[in-house]
Structure 1
Amino acid sequence: MTVLDRQAPPLSPPPPPSPATAAAPTGLRAWARDLALGARFAVSGGREGWTRTALTALGVGLGVALLLAATAVPRILDARDARSLALGIPSASSQSAADGGADTFIWADAATEFRGDPVSGRLLRPEGADAPPPPGVTKIPGPGEMVVSPALRDLLASSEGELLAQRLDDRIVGTIGDPGLVDPGDLRYYAGSSTLNAETGGIRSSGYGREASGTPFNPLLVVLVILMCVVLLVPVGIFIATAVRFGGERRDRRLAALRLVGADARTVRRIAAGEALFGTVAGLAVGAALFLMARQLVGHIRLWGFSAFPSDVVPEPGPALLIVLAVPLAAVLVTQTALSSVAIEPLGVVRDTRPRRRRLWWRLLLPLIGIGILATTARVDEATRYVGQFPIAAGAACVLIGLAGLLPWLVEAVVSRLRGGPVPWQLATRRLQLSSGTAARAVSGITVAVAGAIALQMMFGVMQKDFLQLTGQDTDRADFYVSAEYGDSALAERMIQDFRDTKGVSKVIGTVETYVVATGAPTEQGWQPTTSLTVGTCATLRDIAELPSCRDGDTFVAHLDSRAAKQVGAAGVKAQNSRTDEAAVPGRKIDLTGSYGEGNGEPVLWTLPGSARTVTAFPDPMGDVHDGILVTPGALGSAGLPGATAMVSIKVDQRVPDAAEYVRGTAADIDPTLRVRALKNLERDKQYASVQSGLQVGGTLTMMLIAASMLVSQIEQLRERRRLLSILVAFGTRRATLAWSVLWQTALPVVLGTALAIAGGLVLGTFMLGIIGKSAGDWWVFAPYAAVGASVILLVTLASLPPLWRMMRPEGLRTE
């Protein structure tokens, strides 16, 4: 028998498979098991585990709260518009309002301003028992009474509102309810009157509320709003992704222990995803709680003149649901992506050895894709009917997110070449050389925010020329312009005298102006010749026309010259001079009521003296040109001017504090319906101003989030190094040395991130300007934003010093 023929002894049967091996789940069941195990790790592990989870939840919660606030913006704006329209009063809301009746009232605008804040006000006089009160008011206040908004009531009761209280001296008998306010900070009042009528500027109406104007939004501003939304929201997403990776080094060591007991690489990645998922879900709860808390406080906070009622701060259901689903999914994806380049083995983490250098080529793809999208986007101008929102948003987002991806490579490439220096510098650079990714992620949000702010400012700087127009007002000659819808020489004289006696006023120019009709033969078109008639003292008339000489009783006929062409055009100058020649004929009778031949009562006739001299008119401080007939008070005698308008230009001494408030106070004493306007050289478009205000509010909230999130991230980094810091202190390292090392460790990525933000912001701004057909006007717009970014980092570093001192105590040597 050969060996081959020998029968082999029977083999012992294999051991039966263990129940765990036989029932090992796969597919979705494996994911569910490992995610649940990761969630258990997130809540276990003692104080370390809870601290890590709490920091993750706080970081994610801050971002989620701001995202929920962003989804509530459309409803806030709609509610504000609806409230504003409900408070408007049409001039004639019904047929009965035209004739007066039991349900009508007379009203007049009595708005004012106090230290830059607008104060809305109306005078009301009911004409019948059924006259409706304004929204939020139970009844129309009587003469000498007024109802005020809560914000105005508090301001009048404070020491800061003393001057305004003197101006609004009626007795407060009630408070306006929420339905009658635009927002909680609305400064508004309604005052009763017993003398208000149509002859003194009053308007008859029978109800409240007006329809929306429906003015289309400027296409150029649509592009700006799209970029603004991307710039404000992308840093939020980056911070959420950064918060998900808190505690990454300790997590990797724990996952290595799991590999040692038999878990494979896929399992530990799913467990890590479960741990991140739990922290993110907790972050959703924290974010919702922070949002609800902020929602209750929003009515007590006024940011850049903006506030809102808590009932209006309601997230849109669709975007809110997207946040709830997308944030946890993003946490899982971020964790899986972060671990794809890390080899977690049973005996440790490969990342603890010399790391592999980051590659540049794939990090350039995303910003290049974004630039390509923006470069091929259709051009937008004011005649564009449809603006492609998705290409603009996608292109800008790709560029900004690409900058966040480039920053870790840039930091690693620079710090790897640093050698020598003081001890704090060496500690900082060595730490960055070993693990620069965490530090780069911590400042990636501020990098993206600064880059976006630079691009936005480039667009604002170029576009403001299209939304700012010259008013023609001369602020060197006057600071304020006061007018009444009615007036005569007596009112003008009172205005001139009262304003001259006002504290801080240095010069007053007052006139009375009306349109008059010349009697006699009509024009070729069948109309009676008309012109304007302006009454003023010789000093006043010299300020609006070139007079050879003047004394009380003189009369002049004023023509426009070439300087008036800016206001009315060359053709307008010729037409107005021709109209003046037809009406202002010396010796001709003039109807001062302006209604000759129209059957509106007996005319008030006055003869234009034959001694009237022809002079040249030039613009007044408001930019208006007073052509036609110019007369001094003595020339009219006792003749009245029905339907005239009294106007006063005022120059104040800017060195006198609250000079503007004294002027408005005097105007209110004369008549609350007087319009007081501050003269300015430039006037800003309302749509442009609203976008700019929205950017200020959103930018402030985003920068607050950036500062808070960076502080949380900085504390997390210090917590990861607590044991190392305690060991260095135990071996005699000075605490100041470690503090400086932390500062340098933060400053290096900030400097590099700021440089990257400047380059990326200028590139993004250039391509965004190309979409609207503009070119960059100022290449140094980045300077203030770079300074703001550096200031935020400095403040965060200073705020992290107290936790740093605590972490350097000997207790940090303890371990669990």
Structure 2
Amino acid sequence: MSVRPSPGTGPAKAPPLPSPVAASAGEPRVPRGLRQWSRDLVMGARFALTGGREAWVRVLLTAVGVGLGVALLLLTTAIPSALASRHDREQSRNDMTFRSDVVKKSDRTLLVATAGTTFHDKDVRGRVLRPEGPGAPLPPGLKEFPAAGDMVVSPALDRLLKSPDAKLLRERLHYRITGTIADSGLVDPHELAYYAGSDSLKTTSQTAGRIERIDSFGADNNPSEAMDPVLLLLVLIVFVVLLMPVGVFIAAAVRFGGERRDRRLAALRLVGADGRMTRRIAAGEALAGALVGLVLGAGFFLIGRQLAGMMEVFRVSVFPGDLNPAPGLVALVAVAVPAAAVAVTLFALRGVVIEPLGVVRTARPSRRRLWWRLLLPLGGLALLYPMIGQGRENGDFNQYLVIGGVMLLLVGITALLPWVVEAVVSRLNSGGVAWQLAIRRLQLSSGTAARMVNGIAVAVAGAIALQMLFAGVDSDYTKVSKNDLTRAQMSVEVPDGVPASEVARRLSATKGVRNTVALANSQVGDGRNEPERQSSVTVGDCAALREVARLPSCKDGDVFAVPNAHWDEYTDQLDKAGTKLYIDPSYGSDNKGKEIAWTVPKGVREAATRKDPQGDERGGFLFTPAALPEKAEPALYGTVFLALDESVPDVRELVRNTAAEIDPLADPITWSQSTQSKRFTSIRTGLFVGATCVLVLIGASLLVSQLEQLRERKKLLSSLVAFGTRRRTLSLSVLWQTAIPITLGLALASVVGLTLGTVLLKMTSTPVGVDWASVLSMTGIGAAVVVLVTALSLPPLIRLMRPDGLRTE
């Protein structure tokens, strides 16, 4: 069809075309082609920036779309810097070195005790400090050591303790707050942490790992292991899947207002511009929008950077200063985005004939070809195919093949979707007026409709593939707990010097505790020092001992032997009446002189082993309290298992408070059915955070795109209303124009996502399985974003459907 230039877009408003002028003798000679390109690009930019209100609206729409993408790209490039900063701060405050036997007491040493707790599923990092001299190392973030009974807290913990919901936590942390921890001592701004002072800390052989003597912070006694190849693959896929929709949206944003721009270009043909020149001028307009978008993107990034310090997504946050993109990556974004704007514009105009009297797209466009569109996903599969069956036993996956293959598969969606939309809508005819209006519009501009949903389709396909991969390898990084949650739901490690029975008694009096089982433990050997044969000792009343063994009968004063536990070697040899054994034997100089002699009495009965609530077998000797030598009690370290009444509100918090009253260093542990690898969990959390940011970008960019489409159809909508078309009909037609492409896009995304997920599972040598709930949820989220955007665009649509929209100044 042929369209005449609209009023106000003719040569009267266009800047005069420059005539070619030879470079003067004093100027450096520039190749003619490059000079022509630069002149035309500059002219296009002048059209965009000085073309009046209409041009500015288009530039602003393009710039906002590009700016949102650039901001997310900058935030993504800053992630490695943020993670490195978090790790550095975590490492700089490391204090659990397990080197107390190496570091000797001096005026430059510090005693540190772990005193962390949990409050409503939020971890609170706690340390109790006792400097042993004026030269003791000061933890990062502190100006001075807190006095005994005082504590220094993180700003987040300070806010929490002052909130009305933290009554139970205030009762547990009964120290006086005297200051706050600086940022250098915290992993992130929302971390809950405190340092408390004490004058009674001391180290013993039983406190290793809980109370340490150190002479510096930041020791690295646990060098990082090489990351599992499958986890590396997950990281690569996460980054590709999160960044691809961003690139797709940037490419779509630079094409905003294409129809009006093409009509303006037709006016240039009247004053002597040829076809190539008009395309370069169009590229210059897109370049101007992209450059303004870079500026807006930098502003959005700085705003998002500040908001990052106030927000917490999936319990992850960062300090604003941590988000520092690498200069090389920033330069790459600054060059790639304008270059992509020029390239996309030239590519979009390849099938448009711009003549002096209008723009011709041909009355019946040629059908899109399928063969070259299929080459992209097939090429992606070809790149990934050599790694099928590699698993984690054959080294790391080839990063270049992984990135290239996944990108080709996802880019294949953007190539296939226009063909799918065109093929489907060309066969849709019958229906109501709203349906007919929508179908006719889609038949005339199926490419525009496909561009609107390309980004959401790419995001959904990537999310489906990642969900399949995460679900497939989840069991490899999840360890099922041996804990028997039908017998106990919590346990408390008994502090030194406190009888386990006393701890059990006080915990039994706590509201919501149904039952307690107190078991104390130690070792027994056939020599005072370095015994050749040894076994374990378990102390408890008869009810407690029945939790770990099958007893024939029991009364206080009995002793039992439990041989043949799966790890036991010497109990049957040590269980000889009259044999002299030593409870808590020493090894080297450790505990020397504190061993307790015990002679095996007659009548020690055998008992069969039984797994305890933690799923462990206990062999060795079982003592009832009356049978234990008097001096042996200080050598015991105990555990109390608790069965809870889950109907009592905050029952776990009440248990933690009671444990803190018994000893601030008591360690209540909440049991769970399984535990998961921290690296795997952090990667999954990173995916959720990134996916949230991408969904926000998708919604914002789709809304901008929808508003731009409505703006271009303003006169058409006004004309239809002026001729009597009901607003309800037009609104429904707009909804159909959105619903049909998104349905096709999500269907294509599901196919590509399932294909990519299957290939990734085969690469990791994992049985292929489809988590249909995740597939449907990802598809539903994509559809919900589009529905929300469409709903937000209805008020502007209603305002545009007025007959006075036909007025032209």
Identify unmatched segments of 5+ residues in structure 2.
Answer: 1-16, 24-30
Q: Of 741, 753, 756, which residue of structure 1 is paired with 2:748? A: 756
CA contact (8 A) 1:727 1:813 kept: yes
Measure, in 1, the Cα distance between the counterparts of 2:594 and 2:676: 45
User: Alpha-carbon deviation of 1:69?
Assistant: 1.0
User: Could you tell me which of 44, 47, 58 is aligned with 1:41?
Assistant: 47
TM (norm. structure 1) is 0.92
Deviations 1:616-669 (A, max 9, x none): 122222222221111111222633333421101122222233222222222222
Partner secondary structure for residue 300 of structure 1 = coil
Which one of 273, 292, 304 corresponds to residue 314 of structure 2? 304
Matched, 1:247 2:257: yes
- CA 1:555 to 1:281, structure 2 compared with 1: closer, same or farther past 3 Å? same
After superposition, what is the alpha-carbon deviation per residue over 1:337-387, rounded to whole angstroms, capped at 9, x for unaligned?
Answer: 000011112222222733222111111111111111111347533333443
Q: Name the stretch that deviates more: 290-299 or 254-263.
A: 254-263
Alignment of 1:178-257 (within 5 A): 178-199=183-204, 201=207, 202-211=211-220, 213-257=223-267
Partner of 2:613: 621
Give the whole-Å Cα distance in 2 for the aligned partners of 1:19 and 1:130. Answer: 76
- For 1:35-184, list aligned pairs within 5 A: 35-91=41-97, 98-184=103-189
Kindly state the Cα deviation for residue 94 of structure 1 after the two structures are TM-superposed: 9.2
Could you report, residue by residue, the CA deviation over 1:81-112 in whole angstroms, capped at 9, with x for unpaired residues? 111111111547799x7331112121110111
- Is 2:769 aligned against 1:786? no
Partner secondary structure for residue 147 of structure 1: strand
Q: Is 1:721 paired with 2:731?
A: no
Other-structure match for 1:557: 561
SS of residue in 1 equivalent to 2:562: strand
How much has 1:19 moved relative to structure 2? 9.5
Equivalent position amino acid for 2:649 in 1: P
Q: Are 2:797 and 1:804 equivalent residues in the alignment?
A: yes
Could you tell which deviates more after superposition, 397-406 or 249-258? 249-258
Partner of 2:413: 403
Q: 1:486 to 1:259 in 2, by over 3 A?
A: same
Q: Give the alignment partner of residue 429 of structure 1, picking from 425, 439, 445.
A: 439
Tell whether 2:768 aligns with 1:776.
Answer: yes
Amino acid at match of 1:768: L
AA aligned opposite 1:717: Q
Code of the aligned partner of 1:358: R
Equivalent residue number for residue 765 of structure 1: 757
Report the Cα offset of residue 160 of structure 1: 2.6
- Contact 2:157–2:191 under 8 Å retained in 1: yes
Tell me by how many angstroms 1:815 deviates: 2.9
Give yes or no for contact 1:592–1:641 (8 Å, CA) kept in 2.
no
Letter of the 1:772 partner, please give it: T
Matched, 1:544 2:548: yes
1:361 counterpart (371, 393, 408): 371
The match for 2:467 among 457, 468, 481 is 457
Quick check: 1:514–1:641 contact (8 Å CA) kept in 2? no
Matched, 1:276 2:283: no
Taking the aligned partners of 2:486 and 2:610, their CA distance within structure 1 comes to: 15
| 2:570 aligned partner | 579
Note closer, same or farther for the CA distance 1:152–1:596 as it changes in structure 2 (3 Å cut): closer
Q: Output one character per residue of 1:447-487: Cα deviation in whole Å (capped at 9) or x when no partner.
A: 01111111111111111121112221112221112113535
CA distance 1:602–1:304, shift in 2 (3 Å) = closer
Whole-angstrom distance in 2 between the partners of 1:162 and 1:50: 56
Show the counterpart of 1:9. Answer: none
Q: 1:237 to 1:558 in 2, by over 3 A?
A: same
Distance across 1 between alignment mates of 2:716 and 2:182: 60
Match of 1:499 among 504, 507, 511: 507
Question: Which 10-residue stretch deviates more, 588-597 or 803-812?
Answer: 588-597
The offset of 1:594, in angstroms, is 2.2
Provide closer, same or farther for how the CA distance between residues 37 and 86 of structure 1 changes in structure 2, counting only shifts above 3 A. Answer: same
- Cα-to-partner distance string for 1:407-436 (whole Å, 9 max, x where unaligned): 011011111111222222222112111111
* Deviation, structure 1 residue 296: 1.6
Q: Do the aligned residues in 2 keep the contact of 1:531 with 1:584 (CA within 8 Å)?
A: no
Distance 1:274 1:594, change over 3 A: same
Aligned length: 779
Match of 2:3 in 1: none
Question: Partner residue of 1:6?
Answer: none
1:512 to 486, 503, 520: 520
- The equivalent residue for 1:570 is none
For 1:4, the equivalent position in structure 2 comes to none
8 Å CA contact 2:388, 2:764 repeated in 1:
no
Give the Cα separation in 1 of the matches to 2:753 and 2:18.
59
Shift of the 560–678 alpha-carbon distance from structure 1 to 2, 3 Å rule, reads: farther
Q: Is the contact between residue 183 and residue 307 of structure 1 (CA under 8 Å) also seen in structure 2?
A: yes
Give me the TM-score of the superposition, normalised by structure 2: 0.92
Counterparts in 2 of 1:433 and 1:596: CA distance versus 1, 3 Å:
closer
Counterpart position of 2:586: 595
Partner residue in 1 for 2:358:
348
Q: CA 1:156 to 1:686, structure 2 compared with 1: closer, same or farther past 3 Å? A: same
Offset of 1:752 from its aligned partner?
0.4
Structure 1 unaligned blocks of 5 or more: 1-17, 562-572
Cα distance in 1 for residues equivalent to 2:497 and 2:100? 29
Secondary structure in 2 aligned to 1:183?
coil
Per the alignment, residue 328 of structure 2 pairs with: 318
Q: 1:136 is paired with a residue of what secondary structure?
A: coil
Distance 1:586 1:673 in 2: 40
The 1:513–1:19 alpha-carbon spacing in structure 2 relative to 1, beyond 3 Å, is closer
Contact 1:518 1:584 in 2 (8 A): no
* Aligned-pair CA distance for 1:504: 2.3
Identity %: 50
Cα distance per residue 1:141-199 (max 9 Å; x no partner): 11111000011111111123222122111100010001111111111101111221114
For 2:631, the equivalent position in structure 1 comes to 639
* Matching residue of 1:568: none
What secondary structure is seen at the aligned counterpart in 2 of 1:99? coil
Task: Decide whether aligned partners of structure 1 residues 355 and 43 sit closer, same or farther in structure 2, where only a CA change above 3 A counts.
Answer: same
**CA deviation after TM superposition for structure 1 residue 21, in Å:** 6.8
Q: Summarize the Cα distance change of 1:450–1:161 in structure 2 as closer, same or farther, 3 Å threshold.
A: same
In the other structure, the counterpart of 1:8 is none
Question: Residue 7 of structure 2 corresponds to which residue in structure 1?
Answer: none
Distance 1:256 1:686 in 2: 60
SS in 2 for 1:398: helix
Query: Structure 2 vs 1, CA of residues 596 and 213 (structure 1 numbering), >3 Å: closer, same or farther?
Result: closer
Counterpart amino acid of residue 501 in structure 1: A
Asked if 1:478 is matched to 2:488, the reply is: yes
Q: Decide whether the 8 Å contact of 2:157 with 2:192 is kept in 1.
A: yes
Q: Which one-letter code corresponds to 1:418 in the other structure?
A: L
Residue equivalent to 2:808: 815
Q: How far apart, CA to CA, are the structure 2 residues paired with 1:742 and 1:617? A: 73
Q: Write the distance in 1 (CA, Å) between the matches of 2:702 and 2:346.
A: 23
Q: Does structure 2 conserve the Cα–Cα contact (< 8 Å) formed by 1:553 and 1:632?
A: yes
In the alignment, residue 753 of structure 2 is paired with which amino acid? G
Q: d(CA) in 1 for partners of 2:99 and 2:607? A: 46
Moved more, 266-275 or 385-394: 385-394
The Cα shift of 1:602 comes to 4.6
Matched AA of 1:332? V
Aligned equivalents of 1:644, 1:448: Cα separation in 2: 61
Q: Secondary structure at the match of 2:633?
A: coil
Q: 1:670 aligns with which of 658, 662, 675?
A: 662
From the superposition, tell whether residues 91 and 22 of structure 1 become closer, same or farther in structure 2 (CA, over 3 Å).
closer
Q: Aligned Cα RMSD in Å?
A: 2.2
Give the distance between the partners of 2:709 and 2:588, measured in 1 at CA: 88
Distance 2:362 2:159 in 1: 62
For 1:270 and 1:685, locate their aligned partners in 2 and report how far apart those are by CA, in whole Å. 54
